[in-house]
């Protein structure tokens, strides 16, 4: 996660002098876009352009790079931006480089399957933690773990002192996802979806992206549900 103080130049995943993945937002004559490329043996390959630039100058943002066997799935603020097919084995990446006019406040390297190394903090279930500073537009929550075999449900709640602003409840036994809120001692009208993006017995990655008027939920970088704030 990075916070932009103006505009930043590039994020590179490196192997020695090669750039395995190059992510380069550009702002040229009112045209904003993002270039993706690879540098091997001193030569750049063909550019791939995303004709949008979701990195507003002067505002915080989150850049996420999800690695699969075939692609880098690149997201900005929880929204998919680009899929970049591997040109160099991703296992060769040994460093990350960020440059330009940017304040870096967090860089996480996560290993979704399996998690061999211990993670700092207490992640016993049910897990509860304070979100210091609260939520605001552009803030992103990433939850990653393993769903047990024969699990009946997975539930995430964003709470405040007197209620639940957003409850995201996956019912594996019914194969539905229910979205709701809890205010003044009562649950609101539930929103039920038949699309179940998670599977019991599998690793998962859930991203919740906050905007001014809704929460957007992504599963492994793919948008699956949107909930208008109440």
pLDDT score, position 41 = 93
> Residue 91 carries which DSSP code?
G
CATH class of the domain comprising 2-104: mainly beta
Residues 195, 201, 202, CA angle at the centre, nearest 5°? Answer: 70
CB 76 within 8 A of CB 61: yes
The full set of domain ranges for the chain reads 2-104, 140-228
* Report for 31-40, 67-76, 104-113: range of highest mean pLDDT: 31-40
CB 2 within 8 A of CB 8: yes
Query: For all residues of the chain together, what is the average pLDDT?
Result: 85
Handedness of CA 26, 28, 30, 35 (dihedral sign): negative
Tens of pLDDT, residue by residue over 146-169, are 899 999 999 999 999 999 999 999
Given the candidates 3.40.1260.10, 2.60.120.200, 3.90.1300.10, 3.10.20.90, the CATH classification of the domain at 140-228 is 2.60.120.200
Tens of pLDDT, residue by residue over 18-49, are 999 999 998 887 788 999 999 999 999 999 99
Is the pTM higher than 0.75? The answer reads no
> CA dist 29 to 17, 26, 34, 35, Å?
31, 10, 14, 16
Q: For the ranges 45-49, 53-57, 188-192, which has the lowest average pLDDT?
A: 53-57
Enumerate residues 6+ apart whose C-beta is below 8 A from 132: none
Do the domains 2-104 and 140-228 sit in the same CATH topology, yes or no?
A: yes
CB 74 within 8 A of CB 82: yes
């Amino acid at each position: 996660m990075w916070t932009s103080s103006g505009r930043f130049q590039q994020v590179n995943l490196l192997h020695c002098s090669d750039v395995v993945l190059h992510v380069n937002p550009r702002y040229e004559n009112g045209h904003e876009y993002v270039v993706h490329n690879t540098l091997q043996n001193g030569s750049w390959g063909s550019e791939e352009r995303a004709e949008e630039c979701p990195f507003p100058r002067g505002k915080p943002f989150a850049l996420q790079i999800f690695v699969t066997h075939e692609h880098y799935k690149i997201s900005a603020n929880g929204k998919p931006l680009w899929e970049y097919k591997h040109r160099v084995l991703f296992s060769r990446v040994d460093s990350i480089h960020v440059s330009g006019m940017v304040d870096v406040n967090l860089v996480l390297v996560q290993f979704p399957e399996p998690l061999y190394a211990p993670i700092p903090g207490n992640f016993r279930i049910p897990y509860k933690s304070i979100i210091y500073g609260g939520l605001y537009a552009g803030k992103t929550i990433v939850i990653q773990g393993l769903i047990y075999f024969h699990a009946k449900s997975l539930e995430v709640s964003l709470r405040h002192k007197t209620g639940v602003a957003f409850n995201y409840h996956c019912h594996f036994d019914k194969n539905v996802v229910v979205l709701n809120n809890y205010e003044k001692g009562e649950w609101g009208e539930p929103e039920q979806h038949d699309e179940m993006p998670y599977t019991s017995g599998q690793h998962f990655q859930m991203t919740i992206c906050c905007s001014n008027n809704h929460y957007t939920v992504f599963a492994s970088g793919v948008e699956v549900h949107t909930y208008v704030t109440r």
